[in-house]
Amino acid sequence: MIRSLRNRLLVGGLATTLVVFGAAGAGLYALLRGALIGEFDATLDAQAMALASMVERSRDGFHFDADANPFATADHDARPDYFLITDASGNPIAASPSLRTRPWPMNPAAAGSARPAHAFVEMPGDRRGRTVRFTFTPRSEDDAPATPSATAPIAVARDATALRHRLNHLAWIVAGVFAAAIALSGAGAALVVHRGLRPLGTLADRIRDLGAADLSERVELRGAPSEMIPIVTRLNVLLGDLESTLARERAFTADVAHELRTPLAGLLATLQVTRSRRREPAEYQTALQRCQTIAEAMIGMVETLLLLARADAHQLAPQTTRLDLAVAAGAAWANHAPDADARDIDARLDLPANAAVRTDPKLLDLLLRNLMDNAVTYCDPGGRITLVVTTADDGARFSIANTGSAIDAADVPRVTDRFWRFDAARGAAGHHGLGLALCRRLADVLAIAMTIRSERGGQFVVELAFARDE
């Protein structure tokens, strides 16, 4: 198996050229040879017919009119070298003068047919010649009956050395011309393959030159062979995907760095500024309270990040059990009700009992509490939060809505991105833009369909659809 495309094309092209040109050369030679021999034979036939016409038949036998021999005075090229005419029994009627001294190597009677038969023969004097043999009925002077014994075989031979030389010459010319054609075609094919594969080589160079560090580069499509365009396009799409994945990864790392370093900087600055001089006890109290707030917020964020990392690593194994969604929602809300009251939020709960679902109670509680925390944080002061549990044939649903949202509908798909926060809320204590990201992952882990929408009038709604508990 040839691995190189170039060599494979070259070998294939050359083999095809060899077969096609070889066959064409052989065919051409055969045609020309046939034509030349046919021409030679036609002359031979004409000479034989002329000789045959000189034999006359009468009741007492055959007569050869030697005086009428048209070849007697003809020059050497135009006359047959040998001829022999016999009667049906093989007795000679006439023979060429050259046969008087040399024996005739073949018997004309062997022809036995009126159709001329041609063949190359060895002629006396180690020469190659060509003969024609046929049987004819000589014309009769006295209307003698044309019995089978009234026929006479004739054999005529001519020296074919010149013909053979021409044939050899022709063979060499055809072979030479076609060998040259094959060689030229091979060189042409090599050039075409080389030039044809050059764009492929250029493309390979471009791909090889892609920097591993800089993923913003793309393989240029200009000049690429059309067969390679789907591959190059796909490669570019993959590079784009890789680039955006890595960019997200970098952004996430930068976000984590920012979200961890900023509170650490706050902690350090608070401690260093506080320690820089003697202070009143109340000032120390304030500073310690601030440090505690920062530490608690960092703990919350680190816990959330760890949960997200575990969810990403498929380490959160849900322990499902049958529970009442309304009860779970009511219990989770109890943790947030005081905060909602403090912000003068009107909480409306519609939690009818017996909404049975099968899920992990701890992870569900975490999910519900994060949703509620989000709603309480981003609800406008004096606004409204609505919690509703419904049951239907296709399963139970939980929805939580808060007023006061300024999130654009176009931003809704981003709210579950890690560290995405609506601008105005950025920097809110204890909120790192991870809450809804965690909710999304938890919903995925629990196989709950979570939908988010931002409605007109600043209503932000998150809905959880649970599969029916069989």
Partner 1 sequence: MRVLVIEDNQLLREAVCQGLREAGFAVDSASDGKTGLWHARSAPYDVIVLDLMLPGLDGMSVLRELRTAKVATHVLILTARDTPPDRIAGLDAGADDYLVKPFDFGELLARVRALVRREYRSKNPSIVIADLEIDTAARSVRRAGNAIPLTPREYALLEFLAARRGTVVTRTDIWDHVYELNSDAGSNVVDVFIGHLRRKIDAHGCPPLIHTRRGHGYVLGTEP
Task: Give the binding site for partner 1 (CB under 8 A).
Answer: 254, 257-270, 272-273, 276-277, 290, 293-294, 421, 423-424, 426-427, 429
* Closest to partner 1 by CB, 253 or 354: 253
Residue 415 CB, nearest approach to partner 1 (Å): 15
- The burial of 162, by beta-carbon neighbours within 10 Å (0-12 exposed, 13-18 middle, 19 or more buried), is given as exposed
Report the residue count for the chain.
Answer: 470
Q: What is the DSSP string of 158-210?
A: EE-HHHHHHHHHHHHHHHHHHHHHHHHHHHHHHHHHHHHHHHHHHHHHHHHT-
* Closest to partner 1 by CB, 271 or 349: 271
Compute CA distances 102 → 73, 106, 134, whole Å.
21, 12, 22
Q: In angstroms, rounded to a whole number, what is the distance separating the alpha carbons of residues 200 and 208? A: 12
Q: In angstroms, rounded to a whole number, what is the distance separating the alpha carbons of residues 439 and 304? A: 10
* Closest to partner 1 by CB, 85 or 294: 294
The secondary structure of the chain in percent helix, strand, coil, rounded to multiples of 5, reads: 55, 20, 30
Residue 383 CB, nearest approach to partner 1 (Å): 21
* Closest to partner 1 by CB, 2 or 273: 273
Residue 359 CB, nearest approach to partner 1 (Å): 36
Burial 257-290 (b: 16+ CB within 10 A, else e): eebeeebeebbeebeeebeeeeeeeeeeeebeee
* Closest to partner 1 by CB, 232 or 294: 294
Residue 373 CB, nearest approach to partner 1 (Å): 19
> Does residue 354 contact residue 391 with C-beta atoms inside 8 Å?
yes
* Closest to partner 1 by CB, 124 or 266: 266
Reference 446, options 324, 307, 332, 316; nearest CA is 316
Burial 299-326 (b: 16+ CB within 10 A, else e): ebbeebbebbeebeeeebebebeebbbb
Q: In angstroms, rounded to a whole number, what is the distance separating the alpha carbons of residues 407 and 413? A: 11
Reference 424, options 433, 416, 412; nearest CA is 433
* Closest to partner 1 by CB, 179 or 429: 429
Residue 293 CB, nearest approach to partner 1 (Å): 7
* Closest to partner 1 by CB, 184 or 269: 269
Residue 421 CB, nearest approach to partner 1 (Å): 8
Residue 262 CB, nearest approach to partner 1 (Å): 5
- The burial of 428, by beta-carbon neighbours within 10 Å (0-12 exposed, 13-18 middle, 19 or more buried), is given as middle
Residue 420 CB, nearest approach to partner 1 (Å): 12
Residue 311 CB, nearest approach to partner 1 (Å): 25
> Does residue 129 contact residue 160 with C-beta atoms inside 8 Å?
yes
* Closest to partner 1 by CB, 63 or 290: 290
Residue 290 CB, nearest approach to partner 1 (Å): 5
The residue with tokens 């679902």 is 357
For strand 55-58 and strand 139-140, is the pairing parallel, antiparallel, or unpaired?
parallel
Residue 370 CB, nearest approach to partner 1 (Å): 22
* Closest to partner 1 by CB, 164 or 279: 279
- Helix residue ranges, H only, 390-451: 435-445
Residue 214 CB, nearest approach to partner 1 (Å): 12
> Does residue 389 contact residue 325 with C-beta atoms inside 8 Å?
yes
* Closest to partner 1 by CB, 286 or 320: 286
Strand locations in 295-412 (E) = 321-324, 346-350, 356-359, 384-392, 395-402
* Closest to partner 1 by CB, 107 or 262: 262
